[in-house]
Amino acid sequence: MNVTEYLKVWADSYKHDLTADILPFWLANGLDRKHGGVYTCLDREGRLMDSTKSVWFQGRFGFVAAYAYNQMERNPEWLEASKSCIDFIEAHCADADGHMYFEVAADGTPLRKRRYVFSECFAAIAMSEYAIASGDKRYAEKALELFKRIQRFLATPGFLEPKYLPALQARGHSITMILINTASRIRAAIDDPVLNTQIDESLDAIRRYFIHPEFKALLEMVGPEGEFIDTCNGRLINPGHCIETAWFILEEARHRGGDKDLTDMALQILDWSWQWGWDEQYGGIINFRDCRNLPVQDYSQDMKFWWPQTEAIIATLYAYQATKDEKYLAMHKQISDWTYAHFPDREHGEWYGYLHRDGTVAQPAKGNIFKGPFHIPRMMIRSYSLCNDICNDIYHEK
Amino acid sequence: MNVTEYLKVWADSYKHDLTADILPFWLANGLDRKHGGVYTCLDREGRLMDSTKSVWFQGRFGFVAAYAYNQMERNPEWLEASKSCIDFIEAHCADADGHMYFEVAADGTPLRKRRYVFSECFAAIAMSEYAIASGDKRYAEKALELFKRIQRFLATPGFLEPKYLPALQARGHSITMILINTASRIRAAIDDPVLNTQIDESLDAIRRYFIHPEFKALLEMVGPEGEFIDTCNGRLINPGHCIETAWFILEEARHRGGDKDLTDMALQILDWSWQWGWDEQYGGIINFRDCRNLPVQDYSQDMKFWWPQTEAIIATLYAYQATKDEKYLAMHKQISDWTYAHFPDREHGEWYGYLHRDGTVAQPAKGNIFKGPFHIPRMMIRSYSLCNDICNDIYHEK
C-alpha cells in the first residue's frame, strides 16, 4: 500500500464531504435563523419533523462548527453557526440551579431535564472551541467555569439524582470517558490544573476499574472498586464507545509526547473492542455485546449505528499514527469500506444513522435528539487532520 | 369455515401450551424457591442470566398464576406461585411512602424506583385474582386499597415526578388504559364505586382525547384536551398497545351486557390499529408507526415483539364474539399463523420475544425486565375462555 497516497485520498474525501455535504446540509436545514441554535430532528430530505431542540446538540454543533473553522477552513458562516448555538445555550439552556436541560422548545422554553451533565460537557467544548476560533478569551473562561461547575455537580451528593438506589453502587464508563475529551478540548483554549487532574483521574479509573482482562473488554458499568457486576447491564460491552475511549486516550498520549503506557492501554482497548465489535458476518461495528456471550437485552443490540463506525475510523488512524503498524491502516480501510458503502445517502445528502445488522436502512431520518451534526463531522475534521499529520510525519522521516 | 371446530382446536391448543409449556417453563426456571417471587431474566434454555427482579413481574405472574387457576384448572402449584409473588411484593416491593419499586434484588433489596405506578397496578390485580382463587377476601380488600393508593398518587401533584417540565403538558395512553384493566380485574373480586368511576373516566378520556379520526389512530401522547402534538413522540402509534386497549374495551362492553357504543369504539380502534400495525410485507404486528408517516425514532420501530401479537389474538376473538363477523376470525387466523410460525421455541420451550421485521430471531432470551410470564399466558388463558364462550353462544343460538 502506498500509505501517503491512501491518506491523501482520504484527507481530500473528508474535506470534500464535510464542506460540500455535511455542514451545508445542517446549515441549510438545521440552523434556526429565527431563534438561534440548531434543530436536529430532520427527515431524510432534511425537512424539520420535530422542533424540539436537543441541548446536547446546541453544544455539539457549537463545537463542531468552530472545530471545522479551526482545523479545516476559516469559513465565517461556521463561526456564526457556532456562536448562534452558544448564544442559544446561554440564553435558554440552564435552569436556575445552573444544571442544564436536556430538551427545550424551538424558542428555548425548557421541556425536559435529566439527571446527567452531558449537556454541560458539550456546551463547555463549544465555548472553548469558539474561543480558539474567535480569539475571544472570555469563552475559554466560560468553558473552564462550566467545567468546574460539572465537577461540582458530580461531587455534590444528591445533586444529580442517582438512577439506582443505594444498594446498587456503580461507576459508569460514559461520564469517566467524556470528561477526558471535555477537559482536553478545554485545555486547548485555556490551561488550568483541574483539567489535567481530571484527565489523570479518568485515565486511572479506566485502567483500574473498567478494563477487565478476564473478558478482554472494557465494561460500561462496574462496582465502586471495579467489581464485575454479573447482570445484563454489568456485562454490557459497547464496542463503539470503547473505541471512542481508545482514541481519546491515544490523543492524550500524543499530547504527552507519545506516552507509551497510555498508548499501550489505548491499543489494547481498541484491539479488544474491535474483536467484540466487528461483525464478521455482515461487517461494521455492532452495537452491543455481552461479555459472557449471553443474549443482549437492548433492542438495538445487533444494529449498526453511524457513530461507532465513525469512532473506529478515527481510532484506527490514531493507532496507525502511534505505531505505524499497517494492521491499523487495514482496519481503517475495512471500517471505511463498510461505512461508506452503507451510511451516506447518495440522493439526499448526509448519512443515515440507523441500519439493520445487514446494512439495510432501518429508518431514513437524518437526525433526532441523539443524531445530528456531531460524530460524522467530528470524524471528518479529526481524520482530515490526522491524515495530514501522518503524511507530514512520513515526509519528515524520509 | 367450521367456526366451532376452529375455536375448539384453538381452545385445546391454548390449554395444552399453557399447561405443558409456558407455566412449567416459568415454574421450573423462574420461580425463586429460596426468597419467593419470580425471576424473569432467563436465557433461551431457561437459565438465570440476571437475578434482578422486576416488580412489575411479581404482580404480573402473581396475577397470571391465579388467573390460570381460576379460568383453566385448579392446580395448587399455580396458587402457591401466585401467593409467593404476592408475599414477596408485600415483604419487599414498597418504599416507606407506599410507592413501589421497579427493580429489586433476588432477596428483595430495592435497586431502582421509577416515576410510574405500573408496579402497583400489577400488584393490585395479582391480589384480587388471588382473592378469587383462594377465597381469601382480605386480598380483595388489599387490592382495592392499593387501587385507591394508585389514584391518590396520581392525584397528588408532584408525588410522581413528571417526565417533562411544565411547558410540556401531556396525557399518556398507557396509564389511561391500564386503569381500565386494573379496575375491571379488581371488580371481579370486590365491588366499589371507585372502580366503575375510574373505568368510565378512562373510557371517556380515550374517546375524547386519544382517538384521532384525522389519522384513523389512537395516539400514545396528546395534550391536556387531546390536542395533537406534532413531535416524534406525539405522532407515535403503538398498534399493539391500541389493540390491547380495544380488547379491554370489548371486555367492558360485554360486562355491560353488550354496550353498543363501547363495542363500536373498540372495533374502530381495532380496525384502525390493525391497518397501521399489520405488516403487509412480512406479516405480524409491527412495533411503531408515525401518524404522518414520518420515520419513527424508536430503535425497535420495525421489529416484531411478542406482546402485540398476543394482544391481537385476544382482540380478534373478542371482536368476533361481539359481532360474529367472520372478518375477525380471518384476522385471528392471520395473526395466529404468523405468531405461531415465528415465536414459539420448538427446541427449548416458551417463546422468543424479539424478532426482526422479517420474523428472524433478534435475540433468543426468554425473559428480561420487560418480558416474562404475562402476555403469552394471559393470551392463552383469556383466549381459551373466549373460544369456549363463543362455542357456547353458537351452541345455544342453534
pLDDT at A1 over 80: no
Examine residue A166 and state whether it is found in any structural domain, yes or no. Answer: no
The mean pLDDT value for B124-135 works out to 98
Same domain? For A143 and A180 the reply is no
Residue B387 lies in a domain: no
Assigned domain for A382 exists: no
Which residue matches cell numbers 400489577?
B122
Please indicate, yes or no, if residue B375 is contained in any of the structural domains: no
Query: What was the pLDDT predicted at A358?
Result: 97
pLDDT of residue B1: 78
Number of domains forming the structure of chain B: 2
Q: How confident is the model at residue A23 (pLDDT cuts 50, 70, 90)?
A: very high
Q: Helices in chain B by DSSP H: which ranges?
A: 3-17, 23-29, 55-71, 76-92, 118-134, 137-155, 173-187, 193-205, 239-255, 260-277, 306-323, 326-342, 375-397
Residues B153, B202, single domain; the answer is no
Q: How far apart are CA B344 and CA A149, in angstroms?
A: 53
With H, G, I as helix, E, B as strand and everything else as coil, classify residue B107.
coil
Using a CB-CB cut-off of 8 Å, the residues of chain A touching B163 are: 112
- Min Cα distance B274 → chain A (Å) is 21
Q: How many CA atoms lie within 13 A of A269 on its CB side?
A: 34
pLDDT recorded at residue A79? 98
- The C-alpha cell that represents B330 in the structure block: 380471518
Burial category of B255 from C-beta neighbours within 10 Å (exposed 0-12, middle 13-18, buried 19 and up)? middle
Same domain membership, residue A271 and residue A142: no
- Would A45 be classed as within a structural domain? yes
Beta bridge partners of B31: B38
Average pLDDT on B188-205 reads: 98
Same domain, A193 and A86: no
Can you tell me the mean pLDDT for A292-297? 98
Chain B nearest C-alpha distance from A23 (Å): 22
Query: Under an 8 A CB cutoff, do A49 and B303 touch?
Result: no
Which one of A109, A231, A299 has the shortest CB-CB distance to B52?
A: A231
Reported as a pLDDT band with limits 50, 70 and 90, residue B334 is very high
Q: Is B221 helix (H, G, I), strand (E, B) or coil?
A: strand
Mean pLDDT, rounded, of chain B: 97
3-state secondary structure of A362: strand
Q: What is the mean pLDDT of residues B87-91?
A: 98
Given CB atoms, is B163 within the 8 Å cutoff of chain A? yes
Nearest CA in chain A to B108: A167
Amino acid identity, position B146: L
| Three-state secondary-structure class, residue B218 | strand
The dihedral of CA A137, A143, A147, A150: what is its sign?
A: positive
Together in a domain, A95 and A235: no
**Distance (Å, whole) CA B205 – CA A109:** 28
Quick one: pLDDT band at residue B397, thresholds 50, 70, 90? confident
pLDDT range class, residue B398, cuts 50, 70, 90: confident
Both B145 and B186 in a single domain?
Answer: no
B111 with A163: Cβ contact below 8 A = no
Structural contact between residues B146 and B129, judged by C-beta atoms closer than 8 angstroms: no
Amino acid at A299: Y
Q: Is the pLDDT of residue B230 over 90?
A: yes
DSSP string, A155-224: HSTTTS--SS-TTS--EEHHHHHHHHHHHHHHHTT---HHHHHHHHHHHHHIIIIIEEGGGTEE-SEE-T
A258 backbone φψ class: left, alpha, beta (φ>0; ψ -120 to 50):
left
Tell me the residue range of the domain where B250 lies.
172-366
Q: What is the mean pLDDT of chain A?
A: 97
CB contact under 8 A, A230 and B50: yes
Confidence of residue A282 (pLDDT cuts 50, 70, 90): very high
Task: Output the domain CATH number for residue A9.
Answer: 1.50.10.10
The residue whose grid cell reads 430532528 is A41
Nearest by CB: A294 against B49, B111, B231: B49
Look at residue B209 and give its three-state secondary structure: helix
d(Cα B95, Cα B249) in Å, to the nearest integer? 33
Report the distance separating Cα A71 and Cα A78, nearest Å: 12
- Nearest CA-CA distance, residue B363 and chain A, Å: 6
Residue B381 lies in a domain: no
Q: What is the CA radius of gyration of chain B?
A: 20
Whether A75 and A100 map to the same domain: the answer is yes
Give the residue from A241, A248, A249 showing the smallest Cα distance to A218. Answer: A241
Q: Is the dihedral of CA B107, B109, B112, B115 positive or negative?
A: positive
Query: What percent of chain B stands above pLDDT 90?
Result: 97
CB interface of B with A, residues 38-67, below 8 Å: 41, 43-44, 49-52
CA B157 to chain CA centroid, Å, is 27
Looking at the structure, tell me whether residues A131 and A178 fall in a common domain.
Answer: no
- Among B200, B313, B191, which Cα is nearest to B252's? B200
Which residues in chain A have Cβ-Cβ distances shorter than 8 Å to B296?
363
Q: Which residue has the cell 373498540?
A: B266
DSSP conformation class of A383: H
A113 closest CB neighbour out of B165, B232, B302:
B165
Residues of B in contact with A231 (CB under 8 A): 41, 50-52
Read off the pLDDT of residues A297-313 as tens digits, 9 standing for 90 and up: 999 999 999 999 999 99
Residues A61 and A186 in one domain: no
pLDDT (tens digit, 9 = 90+) per residue, A317-338?
999 999 999 999 999 999 999 9
Partners of B278 in the β-ladder: B285
The string of pLDDT tens digits covering residues A43-61 is: 999 999 999 999 999 999 9
Put simply, whether A330 touches B (Cβ < 8 Å) is no
Whether the Cβ atoms of residue B129 and residue B145 lie closer than 8 Å to each other:
no
Which pLDDT does position A293 carry in this prediction?
Answer: 98
**What does the DSSP 8-state code read for residue B213?**
G
Quickly count: other Cβ atoms within 10 Å of residue A281's Cβ: 8
Between residues B119 and A163, the one the model is more confident about: B119
Asked, for residue A30, whether it belongs to a domain, the answer is: yes
In DSSP notation, A255-309 reads: HTTS-HHHHHHHHHHHHHHHHHHB-TTT-SB-S-EETT-PPP-STTTT-EEHHHH
Q: Which residues on neighbouring strands pair with residue A351, listed in sequence order?
A: A344
From A223's Cα to the closest Cα of chain B, the distance in A is 14
Q: Are residue B240 and residue B131 in the same domain, yes or no?
A: no
Task: Judge whether B391 lies within some domain.
Answer: no
For B356-366, write each residue's pLDDT tens digit: 999 999 999 99
Pair B354, B250 in one domain: yes
Q: Give residue B153's pLDDT band: very low, low, confident or very high (50, 70, 90).
A: very high
Cell numbers linked to B134: 383462594
Domain endpoint, select from B134, B157, B180: B157
The owner of cell 461483525 is A279
CB contacts, 8 Å: B105 with chain A: 167
Q: Using one digit for the tens of pLDDT, what is the confidence trace for A207-232?
A: 999 999 999 999 999 999 999 999 99
Write out the H or E segment, with its range, that includes residue B362. Answer: strand B361-363
- B234 and B329, same domain (yes or no): yes
What is the residue type of B118?
F
pLDDT tens digits, one per residue of A223-263: 999 999 999 999 999 999 999 999 999 999 999 999 999 99
Residue of B nearest to A365 (CA): B295
Q: Which residues contact A267 (CB under 8 A, 6 or more apart)?
A: A246, A250, A319, A322, A323
Average pLDDT, integer, range B147-164: 94
> 3-state DSSP call for residue A117?
coil
Report pLDDT for A398: 77
* Across B316-320, average pLDDT: 98
Domain stop point among A115, A133, A157 = A157
Report chain B residues whose CB lies below 8 A from the CB of A99.
none
Cβ of B294 within 8 Å of Cβ of A164? The answer is no
Cα(B98)–Cα(B343) distance, integer angstroms: 38
